[in-house]
Amino acid sequence: MVDFIDREDIFFNSPEKTLLASRLSDKIPSKLKKAFITHLLPLESTKNDERDYRFASALNRGTGKIHDIVDPNLNCLENSWIAAEFEINNSKVSINGEINNISKAKFPELYQDIAMIFEGMLPFMNEVRNLEKLRKLNVVVKIQSYQLKENQTYEGEFHQEGFSNERIFMVGVYYFEISSKLKGGNLDLKYVEEKVKQFLVDENDFVVFLNQECEHRISKLETIYPQKDQVYERKIISFLSQIPRIQPFRTPTK
- CA distance linking residue 138 with residue 87, whole number of Å: 9
Residues 6+ apart with CB under 8 A from 60: none
Of 45-54, 78-87, 142-151, least confident by mean pLDDT is: 45-54
> Which CA distances in Å does 92 have to 26, 88, 103, 119, 120?
20, 6, 22, 6, 9
Q: How far apart are CA 52 and CA 55, in angstroms?
A: 10
Q: Band the pLDDT of 47: cuts 50, 70, 90.
A: low
Q: Half-sphere exposure of 103 toward its Cβ, with a 13 Å CA cutoff?
A: 7
Separation between Cα atoms, residue 243 and residue 239, nearest integer Å: 13
Q: Are the CB atoms for 254 and 100 separated by under 8 Å? A: no
Q: 245 or 101: which carries more pLDDT confidence? A: 101
Q: What is the pLDDT of residues 17-30, one digit of tens each?
A: 788 999 999 989 99
> How many C-beta atoms surround the C-beta of residue 168 within 10 A?
21
Q: Where is mean pLDDT largest: 1-10, 75-84, 120-129, 200-209?
A: 200-209
Residue 236 has pLDDT above 70, yes or no: yes
Q: Are 101 and 74 in contact (CB under 8 A)?
A: yes
Backbone CA torsion sign across 146, 30, 180, 202: positive
- CATH 3.40.430.10 at 19-242, yes or no: no
Q: C-alpha distances in angstroms, 67 versus 143, 146, 166, 191, 242?
A: 9, 6, 23, 28, 24
Query: What's the pTM?
Result: 0.90
**Average pLDDT score over residue span 162-181:** 91
